[in-house]
A = this chain, B = another copy of it.
Amino acid sequence: MSKFSTAVKRLLVGRPFRSDRLAHTLLPKRIALPVFASDPMSSVAYAPEEILLMLSVAGVSAYMFTPWIAVMVALVMIAVVASYRQNVHAYPSGGGDYEVATVNHGDRWGLVVASALLVDYILTVAVSIASAAANIGSVVPFVATHKVEFAVGAIIVLTAMNLRGVRESGALFAIPTYAFVAGILAMVVWGAVRVFLMGDDVRAESADLQLLEEGDHLTGFALVFLILRAFSSGSAALTGVEAISNGVPAFRKPKSRNAATTLLLMGVLAITMFLGLIMLAIVTRAKLAENPAHQLVNAPAGYEQKTLVAQLANAVFGDFTPAIIYVIFFTGLILVLAANTAFNGFPVLGSILAQDRYLPRQLHTRGDRLAFSNGIIFLSAFAVVLVIAFDAEVTRLIQLYIVGVFVSFVLSQSGMVRHWNRKLATEKDPAARRRMRRSQMINGFGFVMTSVVLVIVLITKFLAGAWIAIAAMAAFYALMTGIRKHYDRVNQELAKAEGGAPILLPSRIHSIVLVSKLHLPTKRALAYARATRPDVLEAITVNVDDLDTKRLVVEWDKQNFTVPLKVIESPYREITKPVLDYVKRVRTDNPRDVVTVFIPEYVVGHWWEQFLHNQSALRLKGRLLFQPGVMVTSVPWQLASSAGVHVDDVVAPGLVRRGLAVDEEEERR
C-alpha cells in the first residue's frame, strides 16, 4: 500500500530529484537573516492591521490608543529579542525552546513547548496564507471573492512542492525577504517625507469612512478588555522570533555571536517596519473594521475593505502603480515564504522529538522519507481545515495563534532564568558572574513581559478561539506521551527478558523451502538454502489443487534433488494455516531447533504488479514472524520489470536551516 501511495504522490508532484551531492553549507549572516527571519518579519504584514481592527469595535475614538499599544508591542518585542540573544549563546545546539524547557524544567514542560510549537506550525501556515490571500485580494478582486479557494490552493501547491522536495537555497529566501523589507521601509520613509516634509495630505481610501460609535457603552472594564485584546492581536508581530534559536548550528562561526547579531538585526528591522506602518496608519487616518459591512456606516455600496498594507501603499504612492504592486506583491510573497517555513521547521522539530522517542523513530533517521511526507500532509491537512473553518479570515485565525507562541516564550525564558541560577551556583569568576547576572536579568525581564502577555492573551482570546489551540496542544501532548510510554514499555520488556532467559544458541537449524512451482525462483531458493548447510533441509508444498500438486511431485522426482518434497494437505485451498501448523509441529518436536523458512519471492518494478504476485508469501511471512524460534528468509528473484527501480534519495525539507545544502561547486565539477 505504501508503494501505491508513493505512486499517487508521484503522480501528483512528479519525480523527486536526487541529492547525491549534499554538503554541509553554513550560512553567512546576510543569508541567515532571510532564511530565519521571513516568518517573524512577515508578521508585520498583519499585526498592525489587527490592532486597528480590534479597536474599531469601540469606534474611531478608541484609535487614540493605537500608538500606545504599538509601543507596548515594540517593548515586548525588544524584551523577547534581547532574551533570545541570551538563549543562542547558552544553547547553541539548535534545540531551541524545546531544549531549554526540557533541560531546565524537565521533560513534561519540554513536551508542553513541543506541543505548542507543533500547533504553531499549523497556524503559521493557516495565518500566513490567509493574510497572503487578503493582500493579493486587495489588487486582484477575483482572489478577494475566492479567498478560501485561493488559500487552500496555495497550501496544496506548497505541500506538493515540499513533498517533491524543493531545493532550498539562500537565494530563494533572500530576494523576496530583502525586497519586502526594502518595499515597506521605502513606503514608510516616502510617506513620512510626503506628510512631514512636503506637507501633503496623504489619506487612506478609508480615511473618510465613519466607524459605528459604540464607544459610549464601552467604558471602564470593557474598554480595558478591548485595549488588551488589541494588544494581544498586535503581539502576533512576535511570532517566529524563536526560529533563529533553532538554527544556530547552521550559522558560520562564531555561531552563537552571528546568530545573536542576526537576531538583533531582525528585531530592529521588524520593530522599525511595525512602528512605521502604525505611524502611516495614523497619519493617513486608515479605518479598518472587523465587520466592514456593519461597522463602516457611510461606506459606498460594495465596498471591499483592503488590507492595511494595500491601503497605505495606495495612499503613499498615489498614482505610481508599479510601487503599489511591488509592495503588495512582495508582502504576499513573504507571507507564502513564512508559511513554507513551517514545512521546513516541522521535520527539524520532528527529528528532535523522534530522537527523544516522543514521535516514531523513523522521523529521526532519514531512512523512511515517507514519514516526512506523512508529516507534511498532516500539517497541510490541518491548515486546510483551519482555513476552511475560519473562512480564511486572518482576524479569526489570529485568536488561535498567539497562545502557543507565548506558551513557548514563557517556558523558554523562565527556563533561562533557572539556567543562569544553575550556572551562578558554580561560577566563581566575578566578571563571568556579572555577565551571567546581566543575562539573567534580561531573561527575567523577558519572562515577566511574556508572562503578562500570555495572561492577557488567555483572558482576552480564550473564548474567541484560543481554547481550540489549547485543546490541540493537549492532544499532541497526549499523543507524544503515549508514544513515549510505548517505547519505554518495549525497552522495559526487553530489559526484563534479559534478566530472565538468556539466549540459548540453537542446537540445530531446520530449514524448510516453500515450493509452489518448480521454476527458477524455487531452484535458487533451494540452492541458497542448501548453501547455508542446515542440519535438516526439506521442501514443502501446500496442496491447493490436486492436479498441480501431482504434476509438481512428478517433476520433482525427475529432477533428482537430494531434498525431499513434503506435500501438506489443505482441503480448503488455504496456504497460511497448513504451513503454520507444520512449522509449529516441527518446533514442538525439537524445541531447541531453530526453523528457517525460505520463501522464493518475485521482485517486481511496478506497484500494481505487487497485487499479482507474492500475496500469499507476504501473508505467510507476516504470520510466521509470530512464531517463536522461526526465521523467515526471502530469496528474491528479480523480474525484468524490477530493473528500472532504484533508491530515490530525495531532498528533505528543512535542509538549509540544518546547515545542509546542495553543494553547487561540487555539482559543477
Q: Which residues of A approach B to under 8 Å, CB–CB?
A: 1-2, 5, 22, 24, 351, 355, 360-362, 364-368, 370-371, 483, 486-487, 490-491, 493-494, 497-498, 503-506, 508-509, 519-521, 523-524, 527-528, 530-534, 542, 544-545, 571-577, 580, 594, 596, 598, 601-603, 609, 611-613, 615-616, 619-621, 623, 625-628, 630-640, 642, 645-647, 649, 660
Q: How far is the CB of A651 from chain B (nearest CB, A)?
A: 10
A490: B residues at CB distance < 8 A:
602, 613, 639
Which of B545, B632, B638 is A633 in contact with, Cβ under 8 Å? Answer: B632
Q: Are A631 and B631 touching (Cβ within 8 A)?
A: no
Q: Are A647 and B623 touching (Cβ within 8 A)?
A: yes
Chain A binding site: helix, strand, loop or mixed by DSSP? mixed
Given contacts A528-B594, A625-B601, A639-B490, contact A544 B365 (CB under 8 A): yes
Q: How far is the CB of A300 from chain B (nearest CB, A)?
A: 48
A619: B residues at CB distance < 8 A:
367-368, 370
Given contacts A631-B633, A633-B631, contact A573 B364 (CB under 8 A): yes
A360: B residues at CB distance < 8 A:
611-612, 615
Which of B2, B368, B594 is A616 in contact with, Cβ under 8 Å? Answer: B368
Which of B574, B615, B628, B647 is A371 in contact with, Cβ under 8 Å? Answer: B615
Q: How far is the CB of A153 from chain B (nearest CB, A)?
A: 28
A638: B residues at CB distance < 8 A:
625-626, 628
Given contacts A360-B612, A524-B503, A612-B360, contact A621 B634 (CB under 8 A): yes
Q: Are A503 and B527 touching (Cβ within 8 A)?
A: yes
Q: Are A520 and B494 touching (Cβ within 8 A)?
A: yes
A504: B residues at CB distance < 8 A:
527
5 A-B residue pairs with Cβ-Cβ distance under 8 Å, sorted by A, are A493-B639, A494-B519, A504-B527, A596-B633, A603-B626
Q: Are A531 and B503 touching (Cβ within 8 A)?
A: no
A616: B residues at CB distance < 8 A:
361-362, 365, 367-368
A660: B residues at CB distance < 8 A:
572
Q: Are B612 and A626 touching (Cβ within 8 A)?
A: no
A646: B residues at CB distance < 8 A:
626
Q: How far is the CB of A471 from chain B (nearest CB, A)?
A: 22
Which of A351, A490, A523 gathers most chain B CB within 10 Å? A490
Q: How far is the CB of A246 from chain B (nearest CB, A)?
A: 17
- The answer for the CA separation of A576 and B366 in the assembled complex, in Å, is 9
- The answer for the CA separation of A321 and B619 in the assembled complex, in Å, is 55
A364: B residues at CB distance < 8 A:
544-545, 573
Q: Are A642 and B620 touching (Cβ within 8 A)?
A: no
